Structure formats: C-alpha cells, structure tokens
Amino acid sequence: MAVDSRELLVDKIRKGFVVESIDDMTEEYLHALKQTLIITGDTELVSVPALLTVYKEAPSLNRKITTLAIMQDELGHAHIAYILLQQLGVDTVELLYNRPAHRWKNPYAFDFKLNNFVELGAFNALYDRAGYTLLSDVGQNTSYGPWRRALVKVDKEELFHLRNGESILREAMKDPKKRKEVEKAFRWMFIMALEFFGVSDELKSRTTQLDLKLKGKTNDELRQDWLSKVVPFCESIGIDVPAHYDEETGKFVLDFPFPCKFDVERQEWLMDQPDTWDNVIKRFKARGPENEAFIHRIQKGFHEYERLRRSS
C-alpha cells in the first residue's frame, strides 16, 4: 500500500529530520507553518503600540530606556517572522499594510491600552512570560530549521523582557498606592494571559502542529508551564491570583471557571459566570477596543509614503 506524503514527512520528522526549505514541505506543512509565523509576527509587532500607550510614564530614565529597548526587540522579533514568511512566498507588504485590522492574529490582550506604567510591568511579566513559554517550546521542538536558529536570539530577549516586568512589579509592591495598581492590573491581565495558549486540549480536533513538530507541547501543557512560573512569582511578592498548586494532581488549578465571561466595556472578568470557548473565539474575532487604532498606527506611515510617492 502506498504511503502518502504526509505520513512520510511525519515519520521523517519523528526520526529527527529538520525541514530547511519549501522543497522539504508538504502543502499541509507549508500552510501550518505560514499560519504559525503570521500569529508570531503579528503578536510581536502589535505589542509595540500597546506598550507605547504608557512608556512615557516611566518613573526614571533607566526604565524609559529599557522600555524603548524592549519595543525595539519586539520589532526585531516581528521582522524575523515576516522575513521567514517572505522566504515562503508570502507578500508581506500586502500582509502588513493592506490587511484589515480585524484580520490580524495578535492576542486579544493586545487590543487594549495600558492604564499606567505598573500595567506595563504586568504586560512584561505576564504576556512576555506567555510568549517566552510558547517560543521556548517552539525553539526546542520545531522541525523548521530556520526558525529554530532564529529563536535562539528571541528566547534570550524575551527572558529579559519578563524579568524587567517582574522587577517593575517587585518595586511597585513596596508602595501602597502602586500596590493597588498592581492588584487592579492583575484582575484583568492574569486571565488575559491564560487565554494566550488557546482552547483547552479536549476541544482540539486537529493535532497538525504537534504531528509536524511545529510545537512540542499541547495548549494545556503550555498553560501549566506558564502557571508554574507565574503563580510562585506572585506568591513571592504578595499578589493574590485565582490559582493554586494541587498536591494530589501535581498541577496548578484555577479557582474560577475557565473560560469565564468578560465585560469588555468595564474591562472586567465575570468570574462567577462560566463561558464557552465558542463564545471566547467570537470575542477574539470581534477584536478589542484599540484594534483599529493600533493597526492604523502600524500602517499609517506606509500609506502616507505611498501617497507622496504617487503624487511626486
């Protein structure tokens, strides 16, 4: 019986084969890789306008310079993903500058302004920790060689970002006023970060990314990895989060139904009201309040330049 190309590639990858070019790929592999890289590039790029909303509120020149360095890193990470997409035949000019805002693939959490500099710290500590968790898994397990090599640099820089966030939060917890800002930030940002990892494993009907080794762990395994670092950190500085370690199962358990409903206008989780992943995905697709403004900021300069070029 003939073995199809998918099975052949999956078997080769399982034995350690590293994909280096389009010639090594099936159509399924190429499609899944493109989708994954688009999500990665969009996530890195759209983090910048969110961070820009409060970076000027940095309490010192050192904090401001560090924040600018982090934003520069994020632009560099996005550049890596888009360059890889370009090499795979994607028209990145069209992708970046002519794609409608609602079709971008950044996390829902990045469609919100930050309210103060403490929230920038939470952004780094929670969201960059999620990014670090996801990309570390990819860097260790991906079968796509060019991306694995590129992520060596990205991994180190994401670690720097999350450490910066933890430093900001530790400092803020020493000030009673700032402590309240930390607590308020975590009330909405903690669950936002939990959603980074996607739907629960029992609802995943396709295992393409795992079969082709574009990632190594499942959504829930990655969520557990994130919780295993974030919950102890929060406990160490006195932040209460709705999660705890369960000795019997050896896992971190959430103290509320997940997913739960979210009041977008009030930016508040309704932790006594369970929701479905179908509704969560609808919320993701509807995008958050700053989606259009943030994407406009990214695309604005290109379109202004194009107008000037055509008129000259």
| DSSP-based three-state secondary structure for 184 | helix
Residues 6+ apart with CB under 8 A from 72: none
CB 244 within 8 A of CB 234: no
Give 219-235 pLDDT, tens digit per residue. 999 999 999 999 999 99
Q: Report the C-alpha gap between 146 and 36 in whole angstroms.
A: 14
The CATH code of the domain that includes 201 is 1.20.1260.10
pLDDT at 197 over 90: yes
pLDDT at 127 over 70: yes
Does the pTM surpass 0.85? The reply is: yes
Tally of domains in the chain: 1
Q: Report the C-alpha gap between 71 and 45 in whole angstroms.
A: 9
DSSP 8-state secondary structure symbol assigned to residue 2: P
pLDDT at 2 over 60: no
Mean per-residue pLDDT of the chain: 96
**pLDDT confidence tier of residue 207, bands split at 50, 70 and 90:** confident
What is the model's pLDDT at position 312? 79
* Identity of the amino acid at 157: E
Mean pLDDT for the stretch of residues 113-128:
98
Q: Where are the alpha helices (DSSP H) in 88-144?
A: 92-97, 117-122, 129-141
What is the model's pLDDT at position 1? 35
Give 38-55 pLDDT, tens digit per residue. 999 999 999 999 999 999
What number of other Cβ atoms are within 10 A of residue 100's Cβ?
9
Reported residue count of the chain is 312
Q: Report the C-alpha gap between 161 and 44 in whole angstroms.
A: 12
What is the model's pLDDT at position 256? 98
Domain extent at residue 13:
5-95+104-311
Q: Report the C-alpha gap between 191 and 108 in whole angstroms.
A: 11
CB 143 within 8 A of CB 213: yes
